[in-house]
Amino acid sequence: MQYRRLGASCGVRISPLCLGTMNFGAITSEKDSWAIMDRALAEGINFFDTANVYGRAFWSAEHKGQVGLTETVIGNWFAQGGGRRERTVLATKVYGQMQLADGFDPDREGGLSARRIILDCEASLRRLQTDYIDLYQMHHIDRACPVEEVFEAFDALKKKGKVLYMGSSNFAGWDIARYNEAARRLGTPGLVSEQSIYSLRVRAIEAEVVPACREYGVGIIPWSPLGGGLLGGVLGKDASRDASQGSRRTGPRINEALDKCRAQVEQYEALCRELGESPANVALAWLLHNPVVTAPIIGPRTMDQFTGCLRAIELKLDEATLQRLDGIWPGPGGEAPKHYAW
Active-site residue identified among 54, 95, 136, 179: 54
| CA–CA separation, 155 and 172 (whole Å) | 22
| CA–CA separation, 298 and 232 (whole Å) | 11
Q: How far is residue 233 from each of residues 168, 261, 269, 331, measured CA to CA in Å?
A: 30, 14, 6, 21
Cα torsion 294, 199, 30, 249 to 10°: value is: -160
Q: Tell me if residue 3 is catalytic.
A: no
Question: Catalytic residues, which ones?
Answer: 54
